[in-house]
Structure 1
Amino acid sequence: MVRRGRPSAEVTLGPLELRELRARAGDADRPIAAQRARIVLACAEGRENTEIAEELGIDRDAVSKWRNRFMREGLDGLSDRPRPGRPPEIDADRVARVRAAASQPPPEGAVRWTDAALAERTGLSRASVGRIRRGAGSESGSQLGSESGSQSASESAAASGSAVPAADTGGVPAAQPASPEEDVAARRRGEQLRSAIFEAVFAQLDAVGYSRLTMEGVAAQARTGKTALYRRWPNKEALVADALQDALPSPTEVTPGQSVREDLLALLACMREAFESKHSAAFHAIQAEPGPGTDLVRAVVRRRVSDPCRRMILAALRRGVDRGEVEPRAATAEVANVGPAMLIYHRLTVRPDITDEYLATVVDEIVLPMIRPVTDQKSAR
């Protein structure tokens, strides 16, 4: 396929740059820096801006910006530039770090988070935490709250055993008594929390559709804090893409068989499983909406299922050549596309379900006759 437009600038990484970018890309406490690092790493793989933008769920111009900045200035170019007027004292990553800590229950024995406790938890200075809590402003109706003097009124009241006025809680979510459900959500970590979030994504897609889905709605559905989402995904596009990808089977998990026929049947069955995923209704609902959702689904399915399936079929054909099952000239990408293309055509134009009998027909009556060695074809006659 001929690419249109000017090709993207080539990015080459040295060993130290590669190590640093990989470390940044995996830093959940600095989501903005992590995303920029992922952009540059993808550029270094030789991928185009449009492809990277689709995968990360961001604008193509943003990819171009950080590609060019890195080309000119290296790692220093990935930092925010000073803006006109008074420079910001706290960057967005530090704000996100404080918000993430403040969304958790306060230390044992404490009624609410203090600047000192948040500073110890986040590794920031107490002065920085204080500026963030005073200046972060509101988000979805809640604030981080700030301290006044060495001890707030609520802390003084708690120390003396008197009641704490509701207006003096500082608006920190963790200061409120947690319900049993919130306690359970707070204890979830790692894969358990990730699975709950993905299930919440599909529940929200079924309820409100892709265009009206929000990070807040997913967080509420999963019974977790919004900060838990933003620590992992920069926006809803990246979150939905990961959820969709997680719901799909991966052809790379298919174990090679003893013959090319076994490999073809297994790989095409994996592709069928993707079509019949328990969340396939969500895939179709997104595609039915106008807007970027259709491109998102197409990119996820292509990246997770279609492209790996074609690559693995091609590898199976090459193994078949080594075993004498396949004509060497038939081990091509075009031939590897035939089986997947037949499944897609059948599902879109004939009927949505794909039976075992149809899979066998595609393999035995279409693909195998195409790839059989010439000597076998002559003897078959």
Structure 2
Amino acid sequence: AFPSRATRDAEIVCLKAMVDAQAGMGSADEGMRLASEQQRRFKSLKEKKGEGSAFLMMAKLHQMRGDLEEALNCLVQCPALFLAVGDRKGEGEAWLGIAKIHLGKGDTQQAQRAAEECALAYRKLGDKRGRAEAAQLVSDVHFALASMGMGNPQEALRAAQEAVQLYQDLGEKTQTAISLHILANANLMTRNFEDALKTAQDAEGRFRALRDTAGEAGSMMLQSGAHLGLTDFEEAKRCAKESKDLFKSAGDFQGEDSVEDFLDHMEGYEKGRQNLDDFRGFAMRRTDPTMAKGGAKRERAPRKPRQISNISDIELIKLDTSKEGKVTLAFFDAFESRSAGGEGFRSKAWIQSPVPLRSLQGQSQQPRKAR
């Protein structure tokens, strides 16, 4: 046993530094050996905080290797270990990792439970940064659920508002811009088009100050959606075309294509082929730069190296009441830009696919993605 908690905590810090150093040098196997050895040692000493911390390190290394199942197997061991010793920070970090993996795999209902547990742990801890990240994640989950005909748009809105406020309090400029982008989208989903427009304009200005052309482009796309909801078709087209120009200046040709597809979709509303009252804005999900994505690998568009927004997979959602309660989803998920740190933002019109819908809060089958 350790002579004191301080001694134990110091050893955990040293272990993490060694594991991170091995990972940074490309020696993930050596890092895994160190972490797994110490996990077994902590377990034999009945040091639950140390064991949970070692599992977190192992999960991170598995994620770097792209082995999400093994990462998840490590992470699910952690909450009970941390909870047993009252370590809310460790518990929140574990639930955050679990939720992100489930969300990346498309297991949205399991992601929802994990995200709620994460938010609860950070609220009890009083950790603003953790609460903000958890709030963004809760919004992400409800956007993903909405694309399945489930989810709660009002909860997505509440969580997005919380994330904006917390990141503003923390002075986090990049995350505030991203959270405003998410909030604008949540306002579109709840048909608060005036609020969506103001928020998207705010996000645009912040992305411009950060010199993030991709963020500007996405903000202009959301402004276009807000103008569409307000039936201002000319302004919606202008914003969409400005978004296309921004994609072009960022060197992202798929982004340019996405706007063309969106404009084609917009024409259906303007000419009455589709019911504008059914418009429900966008569903968007973010990607974790350390997370390997499952499924077929998508080809990425050319891009400039410095783009910092990390919102991913934007989908246009509409309730198609003219077709006996079906929902049509136009996917926007082929545009992607990456920062030096590997974060990504994606947006492209991909498919229109009718799927059964009961309500935005009810059950529905997962739409199939196909071009």
The TM tier, using the shorter chain, reads under 0.3
Higher strand content, 1 or 2: 2
TM-score (normalised: structure 2) = 0.26
